[in-house]
Structure 1
Amino acid sequence: MPVRWNSTYLMLQNCLEYDTTITYFYNMKLTETGQLSPKLLSTDDWYVAQIFVQFLKIFYNATVTLSGVYYPTFSQAIHQIVEMSELLNSYGEDEHLGAAIVVMETKLKKYWANIPLLYALSAIIDPRVKLSGLEVLLEFIGINLSIDYSEQITDIRTKLFEIFHIYETRFDNIDIPQSTRPETEPKQTSWSLLKRRKKDKSASTSSVQRSSSSSCTELIRYLEAQFDAVEDKEEFDLLLWWKTYTYRYPVLSHLARVLVIPVSTVSSEQAFSTSGRIIEPRRSCLSPEMVEVLTCLRDWEHAKKRLQNLTVDKELNLNFDNLYIDDPSGSGQGQN
């Protein structure tokens, strides 16, 4: 299906492990039936399939990452755009994908020539990125897609201080205790792009931040501070970090709550897509109310087990694993 590229990725990824067997079976069938008009499978075909799998992997990973429900996803959006822009740039001259890349770059520019403010704020609220890191990421995307983000960066900086001032006015009665924890140089992280260039960017933005607002001392302190970073970004709990540092940044911690907004509705859509498996020939007379009840119950059970973010139906996979071709009962006991 042209619109189910993620299924195509998973299918090809598994087929690559059995390329020899599939090639033999497919070519043998064409030879036996005399239908030689279709092209026989060759190593060149599998080479193209391998390139296609490598290409789709970035998009599949982005889909899985941004469809999560147990961690903030808005702060991950900019990073995924960086990965996709770099991928398209690197495959632009590929003989197999070059034509498709042109169309994909056009669509990527259409949607991301203007970065949503919420995406930018979520990236800034990440202490590993902040404003200086966001400038680095947008500059990198701009180079790959030939987009000038300089005006947007200036606008984002202005909006950041304006929004913080609103929060500061609302929570101005909060006492800010003095920090006793030392602020040290960040450790190396897997975000090599930020590690290489954020340090150079931070010096140039500090003076601009000071001149932007004389009252936003908490925001300036946060933007200029250096924190101990977690080397493995997947183990870094952003919400826990802000809960820990609420005493130091009480106003910003309220702004950080926008991070809990999911960037994607995929998980919610998956919950309701199960209705297609609920309504089957043996349950064809269920009322709409009963279908709604069963759908909600299934989603609530998954919520208790923290399984709402699964993109693969493990129950369906288990049934296939226990299925033998020569056993019509599907009990898993093959016949000799």
Structure 2
Amino acid sequence: MKRKYDKYWGNPESLNMLLLIAVVLNPQYKLIFVNWQISQVFNYDVAIQLKGKLESCLKSLFEEYRHEMGEGLQGESQSSSYSRCNNDRYRYHQFLQSSGPNKSELSKYLEESLEGEDLNIRIWSNLNSSRFSILGKIVRDVLAIPLTIVASELAFSTGGRVFDPYRSSLTPRMVEALICTQDWLKETHLSMLPNEDFEELEKFEQDKINQV
């Protein structure tokens, strides 16, 4: 477990930024919580470097999505701006444009207060999809990435290597016996059986199951 942790989290230089960005996109945590956690785990110099890298990657990802979505909405924005100019009562929209550049979705999202612990993220995303359309697209893409891989299953779960789909009809007693036998073999440093012996054992086991 320590080797797996060092592989994915021990070296800040090789740390996958999408893992941290996924936490930032949670309105319960955002960037302020992730930065605090980084300060707790790493020393000062490494924490400063990792925080800067995270913010840079987050802004770059947001700008890339905004550029892609902006090209598709360019014609729509031009027509909507034209209608606003014609219906600009008291020149209100002209005042907004002259008052300075508007903040981006990312800045607005990060500046808002954190949500409560009992938040339903799916409902929150649906309610705020009109305000954060670009961030919503990023959330759907980033959170769709599966976080579990075969390596973690092999490291943390023994049952997954014994109770597989091909052995789904094993009784609990047989599963316990297989797991215990594997532990005993490791303790006594005995070599595992060759592949052809395993095939014979599986055939014998299947015949027993069919008889039952």
User: What is the correspondence of 1:26-175 to structure 2 with a 5 Å cutoff?
Assistant: 104=2, 108-112=5-9, 113-114=11-12, 115-142=15-42, 148-172=46-70, 173=73
Deviation at 1:229, TM superposition (A): 1.4
- Contact conserved, 2:27 with 2:115, CA < 8 A, in 1? no
Identity percentage over the alignment? 20
Counterpart residue number, 1:219: 106
Give 1:107 deviation, angstroms.
6.6
Q: 1:218, 1:249 within 8 Å by CA — same for their partners in 2?
A: yes
- Indicate the RMSD between aligned Cα atoms, in angstroms: 3.6
Alpha-carbon distance, 1:116 to partner? 1.4
**Shift in CA distance, 148/227, structure 1 to aligned 2, threshold 3 Å:** closer
Which protein has the larger Cα radius of gyration, Structure 1 or Structure 2? 2
CA offset digits 1:53-93 (Å, max 9, x no partner)? xxxxxx8xxxxxxxxxxxxxxxxxxxxxxxxxxxxxxxxxx
Q: 1:274 to 1:280 in 2, by over 3 A?
A: farther
TM-score (norm 2): 0.53
Contact 1:242–1:256, Cα closer than 8 Å, also in 2: no
Q: Give 1:276's aligned residue.
A: 167
Q: Which residue of 1 aligns with 2:179?
A: none
Q: Distance in 1 between matches of 2:164 and 2:26?
A: 33
Deviations 1:174-213 (A, max 9, x none): 989xxxxxxxxxxxxxxxxxxxxxxxxxxxxxxxxxxxxx
> Partners in 2 of 1:223 and 1:119 — Cα distance?
17
What SS is found at the alignment partner of 2:109?
A: helix
Cα distance in 1 for partners of 2:24, 2:30 equals 4
Q: Who is 2:147 aligned against?
A: 263
Contact 1:142 1:149 in 2 (8 A): yes
Contact 1:165–1:216 (CA under 8 A) maintained in structure 2: no
Q: Following TM superposition, by how much is the alpha carbon of 1:163 offset from its aligned partner in structure 2, in angstroms?
A: 0.9
The answer to which structure, 1 or 2, has the higher relative contact order (CA under 8 A, 6+ apart) is 2
Q: Does the 8 A contact of 1:130 with 1:223 survive in 2?
A: yes
User: Does the residue aligned with 1:140 lie in a helix, a strand or coil?
Assistant: helix
- State TM-score, norm by structure 1: 0.35
Once the two structures are superposed, residues 255-311 of structure 1 have per-residue CA deviations (whole angstroms, 9 ceiling, x without a partner) of: 001113221136998598221345664635xxxxxxxxxxxxxxxxxxxxxxxxxxx
Q: How does 1:188-203 map to 2 (within 5 A)?
A: none
Unaligned runs of 5+ in 1: 1-58, 60-103, 177-213, 285-336
Letter in 2 for 1:167: Y
> Following the alignment from structure 2 to structure 1, what is the Cα–Cα distance between the partners of residues 48 and 106?
21
Contact 2:30 2:114 in 1 (8 A): no
Cα distance in 2 for partners of 1:215, 1:109 equals 42
CA offset at residue 216 of structure 1? 6.0
Shift of 1:124: 0.7
Alignment partners' CA distance in 1, 2:143 and 2:60: 19
Q: Is the 8 A contact 1:164 1:216 kept in 2?
A: no
Secondary structure in structure 1 of the residue aligned to 2:39: helix
Q: Letter of the aligned partner of 2:51 in structure 1? A: I
